[in-house]
Amino acid sequence: MKTKTPKISQSLMKSLNKYLRREECGYKFVAKYVDGVSGTPSDAMDLGNWFEYVATGQLPRDGKVPHPKTLKSGKLAANYQRMEIQAQNFKDLMKHHKFEVVSTGHAFNKNETATGIADIIARKDGKLCIIDLKSSGLLDDKWSEFGWNLDFLEEKHNLLIQAVHYKILAEEEFGEEVDFYFCVHSSKNEHDCVLIQVNIQIDTIETHKLGINNTRRVLESELDKGFKPYPRYKDCRACFLKEVCSEALKYPEINVINY
């Protein structure tokens, strides 16, 4: 029986591009995006999920209430104390800029090809908007692909693709123009935060729409051919499939260079 093609999310688009460059294992891609299997969240993911839950009341994708890490005394661990303050900072920031929250965790369903889940749907000055809430230790980082330094942010396609993707889905779903904001709170201290409105050009939107359709065609082709494993020792060690995958590397491979 032919495998059903999943809807295209912005994270699937990025992962498929990595697979085509042989930077991501095909077995892991299929597990995540076709079979819906995921591994145990990292400590950073647990912290981020808890922060977003306290800030917005929205449950993580697995539907389970996240719990903070605590000390023997019962007090929150230091990083959770920090993000508890940041959750309040987020609420204060929304009030200051007069955002009116309409809903949280909104799944876009109208588009037959693409999908996504918005953290927050809100209105500001009567205009509909999406707010994507994040925690990060890279607010000032210029060089990392996940860094949020404003001087270099326009070059970070892997971060900004989410804004384009969600704007397309939201405007189709709600039938009106939608703005997009990133609200990124530091996980390193209790004060730093950046609120970023992303103004998206028409050409960028049209290019992304073509990208969604092209991703679907390529995905269907790869599913027909069968995704290939691209095992690397470092990646295999951290992969949630390592105990059941026949291709997982248990020892570093031999690397050959010519000199």
What's the pLDDT at 1? 58
- Read off the pLDDT of residues 11-43 as tens digits, 9 standing for 90 and up: 999 999 999 999 999 999 999 999 998 888 888
Residue 129 phi/psi, 5° resolution? -150, 160
- What is the distance between the alpha carbons of residues 126 and 160, in angstroms, rounded to a whole number? 24
Task: Specify the pTM.
Answer: 0.92
DSSP 195-259: EEE----HHHHHHHHHHHHHHHHHHHHHHHH-PPP---HHHHHH-TTTTT-TT--SSPPPP----
Q: pLDDT at residue 60 above 90?
A: no
- Ordered by start, the domain boundaries in the chain are 76-197
Contact 183, 132 (CB under 8 A): yes
What helix, strand, coil percent values describe the chain, rounded to 5?
Answer: 40, 20, 40
Q: Options 1.20.1250.20, 2.60.120.260, 3.90.320.10, 3.40.50.970; which CATH number does 76-197 get? A: 3.90.320.10
* pLDDT confidence bin for 2, thresholds 50/70/90: low
- What is the distance between the alpha carbons of residues 229 and 248, in angstroms, rounded to a whole number? 9
The token duo for 179 is 């703005």
- What is the distance between the alpha carbons of residues 25 and 238, in angstroms, rounded to a whole number? 12
Averaged pLDDT for residues 216-243? 95
What's the pLDDT at 139? 94
- What is the distance between the alpha carbons of residues 56 and 236, in angstroms, rounded to a whole number? 35
Q: pLDDT at residue 71 above 80?
A: yes
- What is the distance between the alpha carbons of residues 171 and 152, in angstroms, rounded to a whole number? 28
- Read off the pLDDT of residues 119-166 as tens digits, 9 standing for 90 and up: 999 999 999 999 999 999 999 999 999 999 999 999 999 999 999 999
